[in-house]
Structure 1
């Protein structure tokens, strides 16, 4: 049963992940649909995913976020506030630019938003890992899934609906304001990092407060040859953990299958003839609710089933529902069918996300949570960006049906690897 302390903890996590996912889903869902309506080709829409490349590369600077911060405010709390305010500012600036006349500048702004989102993601996940006990991670990641779904509803479907009524400028100004208001619970949080400095000091130095002397320290350390050896060895050692390479392969295939199908499902809805408002309701409100329910279901089942059984069962269910993307390509384009596809797909995505996020936390050390979690997250994101970027090219060559068939094949391969991996002795304790 949740007490007041746990309710505050889950409430903080919810607010963190809502605000984290709002700009991500704006980039991932709203922008492709909006640009498709403006006449961009499928190839161009696919390549828009490359603007999210900093999110996949965030592991490169995650050790510095683990290492440095303004600890008087709270180590990760400081970074969360900074990056979220930067996202809000750039979003507001982007809103005043004309899509037709300032497309290049807008793309630069979106790239900056992506960079700040990537860094915000590192700090948010690190704070969550330190905040949750292992027994709380199933429910905590259910909250993350629900928060992500709400963020998706606001930054994705909600923004599409706003675009339909308010237009580009007013919608982005509203998005910037929401990002600022979402920081209120963060300001009230008192972060606690007991004894973390001593552990990190053995390899990378104590956690430090940012100042002129600290910045000089970063520069002096970074130019020493031994720093580069340690820096890259940190990543290599992580990948050498038992079962880690197989686990990273699972994350890669899961993300590739999910995002390839989801990316092309959006322009498919435009080509079918749905309005921005209809697509916003379908992919925003309905899908967000389905994903939230999936996350909640997974959060409770993980506690009773355990990580291993949950992942095996949920992955099979996810592969089955991935096949529903093929229905519209066979002419089943009525609204009930389109809603069935979205609800089933996003429900199982919510289940899978909660499960994989929980295991990712388990595989992250408290000494370097930002780095360990981000390495795993970056593998999935890099895979999703790569497959989403080429999905338009594939769709042009083999059609929507071909894209969804490839996505289904990747899902089936992923399930086979999951079953094999978690039947092996090296993962019997999970």
Structure 2
């Protein structure tokens, strides 16, 4: 895709197969389309279907569970190859197909009528998303061990996801009045299904680093990795910062609907602005990471995220909410790009999918907790207070990064 080419064109693009980068950009764009629906339309849909805030909080937590299981998916991808397609391609293909099937079935089982039976197929779809996400991460880790390239790979991926959020939000916002929520779900499924040929004809190749013999050593590598101080510190950084990032992201449209009485069509605008901001933030990091210090940029990003998260809670009009959402998206795009750079810089080659998923385990637990906690807090606190509480977690993650400078600065740059 053109966005991926633009980010990587300065010589780096030609250091790896072009099709790999096309795959990275496109699969993350698909992820963005899915997130555009889940973050901007799923909660209002459930609320319209008669679910209480407490029920929506519980459902939101459960839907993150597949990402907690990414360690198992990573081990399968590192250990087993299917159909002669390699270690990553079959899992990307199967994950996309499973995700599409889940959305199709869910669309014909309205939650208002079928209750949790309908929600089970959203869970099924998210399971597929977690599977293909794990495999793509493993492929990216094996591609190259250069931190500057990682920064640009992650910039391309997160920019692609942000572009998917923009396109999905605009498409869904424009079509919801005519097609309803079922139409949105079928649109997601159709976009996933037409993407399968891109994966089918992709030829997987080994990265420049020799793959570990995962049948004997991946578990040992994982145990050793768990004991490293940098693993514990980065896990704390991920855990705290993502509580803010995902907690706020899941509340913006709900805040607009409840406090500002925005129509459903406005959710698409908010999602598009959020995605546009994230793309700008990711591209900013991709451009400046070769000239700046990743470690210092990561601290700045989480502090900026904390400030913008707190400000969102005091938006008093649609115009203010739109402007703050776009600015918040910029800080979130910077944060997620740098978070991946810091994380991937710690991973040894060979069993990348397993170890990266292991590192992300606590962050995914944080997301699962946050999806329920942030919505549940609204039953006892105002939106302004909830946004302030969540922003404090991001500020705390900056302190963790600063305290961990002894271990991380040599790896990600001072």
TM-score, scaled relative to structure 2? 0.89
The answer for the alignment partner of 1:207 in structure 2 is none
The answer for the alignment partner of 2:261 in structure 1 is 273
The answer for the alignment partner of 2:3 in structure 1 is none
The answer to whether structure 1 residue 34 and structure 2 residue 45 are counterparts is: yes
Task: Give the Cα separation in 2 of the matches to 1:302 and 1:194.
Answer: 23
Task: Give the Cα separation in 1 of the matches to 2:175 and 2:227.
Answer: 47
- Out of 86-95 and 106-115, give the one that drifted further: 86-95
The answer to whether structure 1 residue 85 and structure 2 residue 97 are counterparts is: yes
Cα distance change, pair 191–167 in 1 and its aligned pair in 2 (3 A): same
Cα distance change, pair 28–338 in 1 and its aligned pair in 2 (3 A): closer
Is the 8 Å Cα contact of residues 30 and 156 (structure 1) preserved in structure 2?
no
Deviation, structure 1 residue 154: 4.5
Task: Give the Cα separation in 2 of the matches to 1:201 and 1:321.
Answer: 43
Query: Alignment partner of 2:111: what SS?
Result: coil
Deviation, structure 1 residue 58: 1.8
The answer for the alignment partner of 1:317 in structure 2 is 304
The answer to whether structure 1 residue 100 and structure 2 residue 112 are counterparts is: yes
- What is the aligned counterpart of 2:88 among 76, 98, 115? 76
Report the structure number with the largest CA radius of gyration.
1
The answer to whether structure 1 residue 53 and structure 2 residue 65 are counterparts is: yes
Is the 8 Å Cα contact of residues 83 and 90 (structure 2) preserved in structure 1?
yes
Cα distance change, pair 262–292 in 1 and its aligned pair in 2 (3 A): same
> After superposition, what is the alpha-carbon deviation per residue over 1:236-275, rounded to whole angstroms, capped at 9, x for unaligned?
3222224210110000000111222222222111112111
Q: How many residues align?
A: 398
Query: Alignment partner of 2:322: what SS?
Result: helix
Task: Give the Cα separation in 2 of the matches to 1:308 and 1:286.
Answer: 27
- Out of 93-102 and 273-282, give the one that drifted further: 93-102
Deviation, structure 1 residue 320: 2.1
Cα distance change, pair 157–270 in 1 and its aligned pair in 2 (3 A): farther
The answer to whether structure 1 residue 112 and structure 2 residue 124 are counterparts is: yes
Gaps of 5+ in 2: 1-9
Is the 8 Å Cα contact of residues 24 and 114 (structure 1) preserved in structure 2?
no
Task: Give the Cα separation in 2 of the matches to 1:198 and 1:277.
Answer: 48
> After superposition, what is the alpha-carbon deviation per residue over 1:85-114, rounded to whole angstroms, capped at 9, x for unaligned?
121122222222233222222111111112
The answer for the alignment partner of 1:217 in structure 2 is none
The answer for the alignment partner of 1:357 in structure 2 is 340
Query: Alignment partner of 2:206: what SS?
Result: coil
Query: Alignment partner of 1:345: what SS?
Result: helix
Cα RMSD for the two superposed structures: 2.3
The answer for the alignment partner of 1:174 in structure 2 is 187
The answer to whether structure 1 residue 125 and structure 2 residue 146 are counterparts is: no
> After superposition, what is the alpha-carbon deviation per residue over 1:309-336, rounded to whole angstroms, capped at 9, x for unaligned?
22122222222222212222xxxx2222
- What is the aligned counterpart of 1:378 among 345, 361, 367? 361
Task: Give the Cα separation in 2 of the matches to 1:398 and 1:61.
Answer: 37
Q: How does 1:123-202 map to 2 (within 5 A)?
A: 123-134=135-146, 135-156=148-169, 158-193=171-206, 199-200=212-213
The answer for the alignment partner of 2:240 in structure 1 is 253
Cα distance change, pair 7–58 in 1 and its aligned pair in 2 (3 A): closer
Gaps of 5+ in 1: 205-229
- What is the aligned counterpart of 2:385 among 396, 402, 411? 402
- Out of 358-367 and 38-47, give the one that drifted further: 38-47
> After superposition, what is the alpha-carbon deviation per residue over 1:195-223, rounded to whole angstroms, capped at 9, x for unaligned?
9786315725xxxxxxxxxxxxxxxxxxx
Cα distance change, pair 152–195 in 1 and its aligned pair in 2 (3 A): closer
> After superposition, what is the alpha-carbon deviation per residue over 1:165-195, rounded to whole angstroms, capped at 9, x for unaligned?
2123332222111001223332332211269
Task: Give the Cα separation in 2 of the matches to 1:120 and 1:426.
Answer: 29
The answer to whether structure 1 residue 44 and structure 2 residue 71 are counterparts is: no
